[in-house]
Amino acid sequence: FPPPEDFAQQAHLGDVSDYEKLWQESQRNPVQYWEGTAKKYVWWETPWKQAFEWNEPFSKWFIGGKTNAAYNCLDRHLEKNGDKLALIFEAEDGRVENWTYKQLHREVCRFSNALLSIGAKPGSPITIYLPMVPEAIIAMLACARIGAPHSVIFAGFAASAIRDRVLDASSEIILTSDVAYRRGTKLDLLKTVEEAVKQTPAVHSVVVLQREKTAALTGVFKDWSTLIARASENHEAKSFDSEHPLFFLYTSGTTGKPKGIVHTTGGYLTSVISSAHMVFDLKKDDIYWCTADIGWVTGHSYIVYGLLGNAATCVLFEGALNFPHPGRIWEIVDKHEVSILYTAPTAIRSFMRTGEEHVDKFKLDTLRLLGSVGEPINPEAWMWYHRKIGKEQCPIVDTWWQTETGGMMITPLPGVVSTKPGSATRPLPGIVANIVREDGSSANAGEGGYLVIEHPWPSMLRAIHRDPERFKETYWSKFKGKYFTGDGASRDADGFYWIKGRVDDVLNVSGHRLGTMEIESAIVSHPYVAEAAVVGKPDELKGQAVVAFVTPKDSAGLKDFEKATAELKAHVAKEIGSIARPDEIRWTKTLPKTRSGKIMRRLLKDLAAGKEVTGDTTTLENPGLVEYLH
Ligand code: WT7
């Protein structure tokens, strides 16, 4: 699909030959491209002295430059856009709150002072465990403003997951709320945090946003509104080094321990503000809605920093997209006149399934651009999105990127790049991508291989917190000098990328990233369990479903496997959070292993997918087992 003509005519980047020139130049000289971009999109108090330093695998961008992320998202807009809406918040019950840039700025200043009053310091991480409410964004921006890196934990995670992340980050302050509202019920966030902080002795303050009733809080627990009532609304933002850490975000990897991905300030802002502007083709009257939670990188980059950095108006929704009726998402689009919608393939597939009558009740005529993120979008879902939601008028931007990349990497620019359903199309200007074979050589057109990035980019992760070895090993050891994404992909004759999904032991369930080892260690912590292996199986709705092969301890003397299955699923939800709950538990006497003792995951994957096991099983310790596992 070529860009619709009227769209191309009004687009920031609407001239194909200009774009081709820019793109080619950016491939030859990415640093020059990024310097221009950093000047154009980011406010700098002090300009940088050196644009880029590469000390493989450690990079620095805009060295010597000083800036402040919150200033970029708020203060610099006040003169021209102070009365413009920054946030339109809709609660699950339909209540709406509007926040102008002036109001948001005032509240962020106030909360910055509140944080300072309880001992927050530049460089000292603050944990945020909040639902999708304006205060979550206020909290993030206040942290950024005072130079305290935030570590946001998705509010669906369980107590032990909070505890591990708080300890790993050495965080002494937690920001949370009493409850979150979801599907007509209340989730008790405070109870979860209370449990977590029993084992985090360094935490001296838990600031609680009390949404239900104001109870008296004691010990380390402090009331949010009391703190801000005492705080001044004047706060002057101090600038920090471009490489000052802006946030940590924990994500799953191939071991049992989540990785604390570290992002810094100047380069990150350069990438997310410029990509939001170009990929969403942002105009001053756009109403933008990203349905992701701020607990994931999508919320960080394409609600908070990328969009507020452009003085855009964002819808923020606390609730489920299909509650209390299957068309809630479309109702919100009409109600707030959303012009740009950014959502996930899994959501699109679930709306395809619930039936078109729930879409037909709504006009959807304010939409002009659609986005997709989080997992490969299958062509059928792409076409449905195009036809049913976009009414064949809206370009679709399928944006490939990762927690580690900070910003979008491979995606169409809607005014100049044609789209093919199921392809994320081409790398953005400044992004030097490639598909390589096992030996590191470039794959031919149409040949599958590993997706790598061949030149550092400004919003690249700088580190895994406290684990430089793992940082090197995970991203920089497979292919010399290239960033390895962990994804498999191919590139067609037009240079378009087709992302196939993870080639490592990372699962993608409804666009959420889960480590198989993390789930395995939660499973084996249950007293019944001797051993476990977790694999993904293809799932029409969720992309992948979680299947666990589990061997019980003889001593457990299990007889009622149905009951044990239910208990084990609940156990994982309690240990990690309900997003990690296995869809299927398969009990087995032993797990298939090679003679050297490695679990044969490929075989288990085939079994889980219901495929015949055809691969080589000669190295299997116990070949009869294959039959047994059926
Ligand atoms: C993994 C990253 C991107 C922010 C949300 C997820 C998969 C993401 C796409 C896409 C195909 C995609 C990849 C990637 N992925 N977007 N448009 N097409 N695959 O961030 O949790 O860090 O996961 O999500 O497998 O490696 P994340």
pLDDT of residue 625: 65
pLDDT of residue 256: 84
> Ligand 1 centre and the CA of 374: distance in Å?
4
Is the pLDDT score of 174 beyond 90? yes
The band of 624, judged by pLDDT with boundaries at 50, 70 and 90, is: low
Cβ–ligand 1 contact at 399 (below 6 Å)? yes
> Ligand 1 centre and the CA of 508: distance in Å?
8
Name the residue of 346, 499, 518 whose CB sits within 8 Å of the most ligand 1 atoms, as the mutation to test its pocket: 499
Cβ–ligand 1 contact at 424 (below 6 Å)? yes
- SS3 assignment, position 567: helix
Q: What is the pLDDT of residues 479-537, one digit of tens each?
A: 999 999 999 999 999 999 999 999 998 999 998 999 999 999 999 999 999 999 999 99
Q: What is the pLDDT of residues 70-84, one digit of tens each?
A: 999 999 999 999 999
- The residue whose CA is least distant from atom 5 of ligand 1 is 374
pLDDT of residue 618: 60
> Which are the contacts of 308, defined by CB distance < 8 A and separation ≥ 6?
73, 74, 86, 104, 137, 141, 314
pLDDT of residue 85: 98
Cβ–ligand 1 contact at 486 (below 6 Å)? yes
Cα(12)–Cα(539) distance, rounded to whole angstroms? 38
Q: Where are the alpha helices (DSSP H) in 83-239?
A: 101-117, 134-146, 159-169, 189-197, 224-229
The band of 437, judged by pLDDT with boundaries at 50, 70 and 90, is: very high
Q: What sign has the CA pseudo-torsion 63, 69, 75, 80?
A: positive
The band of 622, judged by pLDDT with boundaries at 50, 70 and 90, is: low
Atom of ligand 1 nearest to the CA of 298: 4
Name the residue of 342, 508, 510, 542 whose CB sits within 8 Å of the most ligand 1 atoms, as the mutation to test its pocket: 508
The band of 629, judged by pLDDT with boundaries at 50, 70 and 90, is: low
Cα distances from 382 to residues 33, 167, 226, in angstroms, run 31, 41, 48
Atom of ligand 1 nearest to the CA of 410: 17
Name the residue of 300, 402, 459, 485 whose CB sits within 8 Å of the most ligand 1 atoms, as the mutation to test its pocket: 402
pLDDT of residue 221: 98
The band of 621, judged by pLDDT with boundaries at 50, 70 and 90, is: low
pLDDT of residue 627: 63
Q: What is the pLDDT of residues 350-373, one digit of tens each?
A: 999 998 999 999 999 999 999 999
Of all residues in the chain, the percent with pLDDT exceeding 70 is 97
Cβ–ligand 1 contact at 487 (below 6 Å)? yes
The band of 589, judged by pLDDT with boundaries at 50, 70 and 90, is: confident
Q: For helices 159-169 and 189-197, what crossing angle results, to 10°?
A: 50
Cβ–ligand 1 contact at 172 (below 6 Å)? no
pLDDT of residue 620: 60
Atom of ligand 1 nearest to the CA of 408: 3
Q: Which of 155-159, 265-269, 348-352, 615-619 has the lowest mean pLDDT?
A: 615-619
| Summary mean pLDDT of the chain | 95
- Contact present, 347 and 311 (Cβ < 8 Å): no
pLDDT of residue 614: 65
Is the pLDDT score of 630 beyond 60? no
pLDDT of residue 463: 98
- The residue whose CA is least distant from atom 18 of ligand 1 is 376
- The residue whose CA is least distant from atom 8 of ligand 1 is 374
Q: What is the pLDDT of residues 200-231, one digit of tens each?
A: 999 999 999 999 999 999 999 999 999 999 99
The band of 426, judged by pLDDT with boundaries at 50, 70 and 90, is: very high
Name the residue of 152, 304, 461, 513 whose CB sits within 8 Å of the most ligand 1 atoms, as the mutation to test its pocket: 513
Cα of 193 vs its chain's centroid, Å: 22
Is the pLDDT score of 623 beyond 80? no
Cβ–ligand 1 contact at 376 (below 6 Å)? yes
- The residue whose CA is least distant from atom 23 of ligand 1 is 402
Is the pLDDT score of 38 beyond 60? yes
- The residue whose CA is least distant from atom 20 of ligand 1 is 402
Q: What is the pLDDT of residues 521-572, one digit of tens each?
A: 999 999 999 999 999 999 999 999 999 999 999 898 989 999 999 999 999 9
Helix, strand and coil percent figures for the chain, each rounded to 5: 35, 25, 40
Cα(146)–Cα(235) distance, rounded to whole angstroms? 9
The band of 594, judged by pLDDT with boundaries at 50, 70 and 90, is: confident
> Ligand 1 centre and the CA of 489: distance in Å?
12
CA angle 225/147/245 to nearest 5° reads: 130
> Ligand 1 centre and the CA of 601: distance in Å?
22
> Ligand 1 centre and the CA of 18: distance in Å?
29
pLDDT of residue 387: 98
pLDDT of residue 293: 96
Atom of ligand 1 nearest to the CA of 376: 11
> Which are the contacts of 228, defined by CB distance < 8 A and separation ≥ 6?
107, 110, 111, 114
- The residue whose CA is least distant from atom 6 of ligand 1 is 374
Mean pLDDT of 382-398: 98
Cβ–ligand 1 contact at 342 (below 6 Å)? no
- The residue whose CA is least distant from atom 19 of ligand 1 is 375
SS3 assignment for 378-399: CHHHHHHHHHHHCCCCCCEEEE
> Ligand 1 centre and the CA of 405: distance in Å?
10
Atom of ligand 1 nearest to the CA of 485: 26
Name the residue of 303, 342, 400, 423 whose CB sits within 8 Å of the most ligand 1 atoms, as the mutation to test its pocket: 400
CB atoms within 10 A of CB 445: 12
Cβ–ligand 1 contact at 508 (below 6 Å)? yes
Question: Using the 8-state DSSP alphabet, how is residue 374 labeled?
Answer: S
pLDDT of residue 506: 93
Of all residues in the chain, the percent with pLDDT exceeding 90 is 91
> Ligand 1 centre and the CA of 309: distance in Å?
23
Cβ–ligand 1 contact at 164 (below 6 Å)? no
